């Protein structure tokens, strides 16, 4: 959306005085959008509806040429991915008629949220890249308000692409960040002294995760004294990088000492990308050996990159579980959570990026899409039909929780994202949100999101292997174990063995097969993380002795739970309960192999 207000010459904004005129322009844009949140939203909706008036979807609901909120709210239903699946499938199969969007669907973005075990396919249009770029362009001006001198050094960011496929109709299907890194917006970005990253673009674009990580780490080490911030998109990605250093520092130091790249790096463009910077540097190699060979990893980030001012990683939502580990490796550096985004739409940014992780609030930018909010108490009761009262962005109440519902330029109308947000305050007239949780997510190590039904299916799949032993799983619960890197799923099983084999537990080999059977039944994002990325470790089953789950119930009741309403929690994080479970473990078993995974969709 064009902003037509003349740019004043002063650099002061409601966010603070900008360091330069370019930043001032961006901060004024934030001010303008947030001060006029409601008007901007009204215009965004009118723009989306007028341009898509002829689409099959908008026509179906007989909107005519109406572009106002009242008609939109009265006629267009709130939907989930399942409701849109027939339309999405037609587009994927090659139907180019204007089904959801008047502009051509340029590709599908594969969400880490799944449907029937497969990644959800989100249609997108070319111009959405500009919108995403616009949000990215706001992050540095905001950061510059809090951290001076970012133009005096570099950023060590670990960025990765993932595999892409084509739909039957020939459209690309890939994650949103892969799409962004492969775009000219990223590849041909103009030089910006505030955003110089150590990773060469060919290393980021290399689909082989080992080669990509190796060279990104190598470059980070070569530039170690210039690095001012260290990051990855999510906390789990940064921890993977630290783990990589723990496993490969000897090879990296050897390359640095000799000034030649390991033959394991076979991608020619990745090799070329370091020829100018990799020269023999025995002193640096010795330094790395000295720091990494002691086995002491506390504060490793600041020891290797001593000028690091902060970590740039998302540690809100499911990533909060990694805060203590990151504190350990960084010696307590601040962690900046800069933005909140999804495959469907980029939402907004944190206007106080240096605040504590527990205080992070994101401000949704009203120009990104049309946003509505389902009060949490209505979300639980809504059965998928009938009118529902959604609240507009500018009319939310501080302290209340809502589920986010979006209408995008790419053709999602009143679509439930599944994120629950709490309003913490306002910036100008735009609300700010704490990310509370994603609906129905039980377990998550990195991008994977496993819900209760998926876990149940996995347990059922595995427990079939127990039938020949007359054994059944009487109760189970789970925990995302992140004390080691990579983290892994731990599933606690209480078994019952019947009949003549009574008392004879199935052997270790059977239990290992059960671990693998569970993994085979989990969704594609889980299996990709296990197989292609190595970012989740083998699933573990811990068998607990008979009666443990009864003790768990006693414990809950002693803490005030109602005996009638008590349900076994399918995921536990509360340390005393984990301690209780762990103290009753009779045997532990790990998945002995990788589950099946291929980049191609099965459905
Ligand atoms: P995807 O579509 O796979 O990119 O996943 C998007 C989802 O990741 C969002 O809907 C959120 O649930 C989660 N997410 C994204 N950004 C954040 C953030 N800053 N804090 C917490 N969760 C986030």
- Report the chain's mean pLDDT, rounded to a whole number: 95
Ligand 1 touching residue 435 (CB < 6 A): yes
Ligand 1 touching residue 403 (CB < 6 A): no
pLDDT band of residue 380 (cuts 50, 70, 90) is confident
CA 120–ligand 1 middle distance (angstroms): 14
Q: What is the pLDDT of residue 6?
A: 43
pLDDT at 602 exceeding the cut of 90: no
Helix, strand, or coil (residue 478): strand
Mean pLDDT computed over 246-259: 98
Q: What is the pLDDT of residue 125?
A: 98
- List the single range of 133-142, 544-553, 563-572 with lowest mean pLDDT: 563-572
Instruction: Write the Ramachandran bin of 377: left for phi over 0, alpha for psi from -120 to 50, otherwise beta.
Output: alpha
CA 569–ligand 1 middle distance (angstroms): 24
Nearest CA to ligand 1 atom 4: 342
Q: What percent of the chain has pLDDT over 90?
A: 91
pLDDT band of residue 7 (cuts 50, 70, 90) is very low
Residue 351: which of 194, 157, 138 has the closest Cα?
138
- List the single range of 85-99, 384-398, 539-553 with lowest mean pLDDT: 384-398
Cis peptide before 486 (omega within 30 of 0): yes
Ligand 1 touching residue 350 (CB < 6 A): no
Ligand 1 touching residue 420 (CB < 6 A): no
Instruction: With beta carbons less than 8 A apart as the criterion, state whether 203 and 273 touch.
Output: yes
Mean pLDDT computed over 51-60: 97
Q: What is the pLDDT of residue 603?
A: 55
Q: What is the pLDDT of residue 563?
A: 84
187 forms beta bridges with none
- Nearest atom in ligand 1 to the alpha carbon of residue 350 is 19
Residue with tokens 């209340």: 400
CA 193–ligand 1 middle distance (angstroms): 28
- List the single range of 53-67, 289-303, 489-503 with lowest mean pLDDT: 489-503
Q: How far apart are the first and last CA of the chain?
A: 38
Residue with tokens 């292997």: 465
Cα–Cα–Cα angle for 344, 385, 457, nearest 5°? Answer: 65
Distant-in-sequence, close-in-space partners of 393: CB < 8 Å, separation ≥ 6: 37, 38, 41, 364, 366, 371, 372, 373, 430, 431
- Nearest atom in ligand 1 to the alpha carbon of residue 314 is 19
- What percent of the chain is helix, strand and coil (3-state, nearest 5)? 40, 20, 35
CA 155–ligand 1 middle distance (angstroms): 23
Of the residues 110, 111, 113, 312, which should be mutated to test ligand 1's pocket, given the most ligand atoms within 8 Å of the CB?
113
pLDDT at 392 exceeding the cut of 70: yes
Q: What is the pLDDT of residue 372?
A: 98
Distances (CA, A) of 38 to 42, 45, 73, 88, 129: 6, 11, 16, 30, 24
pLDDT at 334 exceeding the cut of 80: yes
Token pair for 472? 């059944």
What burial letters (b/e) apply to 481-493, b meaning 16+ CB within 10 Å? Answer: bbeebbbbbbbbb
Token pair for 2? 């064009």
Q: What is the pLDDT of residue 503?
A: 56
Contacts 24+ apart (CB under 8 A), 37-42: 37/366, 37/393, 37/394, 37/428, 37/429, 37/430, 37/431, 38/366, 38/392, 38/393, 38/394, 38/395, 38/429, 40/1, 40/366, 40/367, 41/366, 41/370, 41/371, 41/392, 41/393, 41/394, 42/69
CB atoms within 10 A of CB 4: 6
Ligand 1 touching residue 211 (CB < 6 A): no
pLDDT at 384 exceeding the cut of 80: no
Helix, strand, or coil (residue 372): strand
pLDDT tens per residue across span 452-500? 999 999 999 999 999 999 999 999 999 999 999 999 999 999 999 987 5
CA 340–ligand 1 middle distance (angstroms): 6
pLDDT at 280 exceeding the cut of 90: yes
d(CA 337, CA 331): 18
Of the residues 435, 441, 449, which should be mutated to test ligand 1's pocket, given the most ligand atoms within 8 Å of the CB?
435
d(CA 581, CA 350): 38
Mean pLDDT computed over 303-311: 98
pLDDT at 5 exceeding the cut of 60: no
Ligand 1 touching residue 317 (CB < 6 A): yes
d(CA 73, CA 84): 18
Q: What is the pLDDT of residue 2?
A: 45
| Residue ranges in 53-110 assigned as alpha helix (H) | 56-60, 69-75, 81-92
Residue 11: which of 21, 1, 3, 2 has the closest Cα?
21
Ligand 1 touching residue 111 (CB < 6 A): yes
Ligand 1 touching residue 233 (CB < 6 A): no
pLDDT tens per residue across span 342-358? 999 999 999 999 999 99
pLDDT at 1 exceeding the cut of 50: no
CA 248–ligand 1 middle distance (angstroms): 30
CA 124–ligand 1 middle distance (angstroms): 17
Of the residues 115, 178, 233, 342, which should be mutated to test ligand 1's pocket, given the most ligand atoms within 8 Å of the CB?
342
pLDDT band of residue 70 (cuts 50, 70, 90) is very high
pLDDT tens per residue across span 494-538? 999 987 555 578 999 999 999 999 999 999 999 999 999 999 999
Q: What is the pLDDT of residue 564?
A: 83
């Amino acid at each position: 959306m064009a902003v037509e207000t003349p740019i004043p010459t002063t650099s002061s904004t409601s966010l603070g005085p900008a360091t330069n005129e370019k930043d001032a322009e961006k901060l004024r844009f934030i001010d303008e959008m947030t001060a006029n949140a409601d008007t901007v939203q009204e215009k965004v909706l009118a723009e989306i509806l007028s341009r898509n008036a002829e689409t099959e979807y908008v026509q179906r609901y007989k909107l005519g040429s109406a572009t106002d909120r009242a008609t939109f709210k009265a006629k267009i239903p709130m939907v989930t991915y399942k409701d849109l699946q027939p339309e999405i499938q037609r587009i994927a199969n090659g139907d180019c008629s204007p089904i959801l969007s008047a502009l051509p669907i340029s590709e599908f973005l594969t969400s880490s949220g799944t449907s029937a075990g497969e990644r959800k396919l989100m249609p997108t249009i070319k111009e959405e890249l500009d919108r995403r770029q616009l949000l990215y362009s706001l992050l540095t001006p905001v950061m510059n308000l809090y951290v001076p001198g970012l133009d005096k050094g570099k950023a060590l960011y670990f960025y990765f692409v993932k595999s892409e496929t084509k739909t039957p109709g020939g459209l690309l299907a890939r994650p949103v960040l892969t799409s962004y890194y492969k775009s000219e917006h990223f590849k041909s970005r103009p030089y910006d002294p505030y955003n110089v990253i150590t990773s060469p673009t060919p290393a980021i674009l290399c689909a082989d995760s080992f080669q990509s990580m190796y060279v990104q780490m190598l470059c980070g080490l070569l530039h170690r004294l210039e690095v001012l911030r260290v990051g990855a998109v999510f906390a789990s990605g940064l921890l993977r990088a630290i783990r990589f250093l723990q496993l490969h520092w000897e090879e990296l130091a050897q390359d640095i000492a000799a000034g030649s790249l390991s033959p394991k790096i076979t991608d020619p463009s990745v090799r070329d990308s370091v020829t100018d910077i990799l020269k023999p540097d025995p002193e640096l190699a010795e330094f790395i050996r000295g720091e990494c060979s002691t086995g002491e990893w506390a504060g490793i980030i600041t020891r290797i990159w001593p000028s690091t001012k902060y970590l740039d990683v998302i540690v809100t939502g499911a990533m909060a579980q990694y805060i203590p580990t990151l504190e350990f490796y960084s010696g307590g550096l601040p962690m900046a959570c800069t933005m909140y985004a999804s495959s469907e739409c980029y939402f907004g940014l944190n206007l106080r990026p240096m605040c504590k992780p527990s205080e992070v609030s994101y401000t949704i930018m009203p120009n990104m899409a049309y946003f509505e909010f389902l009060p949490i108490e209505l979300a639980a009761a809504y059965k998928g039909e009938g009118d529902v009262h959604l609240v507009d962005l500018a009319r939310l109440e501080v302290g209340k929780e809502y589920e986010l519902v979006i209408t995008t330029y790419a053709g999602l109308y009143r679509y439930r994202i599944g994120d629950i947000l709490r309003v913490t305050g306002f910036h100008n007239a735009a609300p700010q949100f704490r990310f509370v949780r994603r609906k129905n997510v039980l377990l998550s190590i990195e991008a994977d999101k496993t819900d209760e039904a998926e876990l149940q299916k996995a347990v059922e799949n595995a427990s079939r292997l127990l039938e020949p032993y007359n054994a059944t799983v009487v109760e189970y619960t789970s925990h995302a174990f992140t004390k080691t890197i990579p983290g892994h799923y731990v599933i606690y099983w209480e078994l019952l063995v019947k009949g003549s084999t009574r008392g004879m537990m199935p052997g270790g080999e059977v239990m290992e097969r059960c671990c693998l059977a569970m993994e085979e039944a989990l969704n594609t994002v889980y299996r990709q993380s296990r197989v292609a990325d190595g970012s989740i470790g083998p699933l573990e089953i811990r068998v607990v002795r008979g009666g443990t789950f009864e003790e768990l119930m006693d414990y809950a009741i002693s803490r005030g739970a109602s005996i009638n309403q008590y349900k076994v929690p399918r995921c536990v994080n509360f340390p005393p309960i984990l301690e209780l479970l762990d103290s009753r473990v009779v045997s532990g078993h790990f998945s002995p192999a990788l589950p099946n995974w291929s980049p191609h969709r099965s459905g």
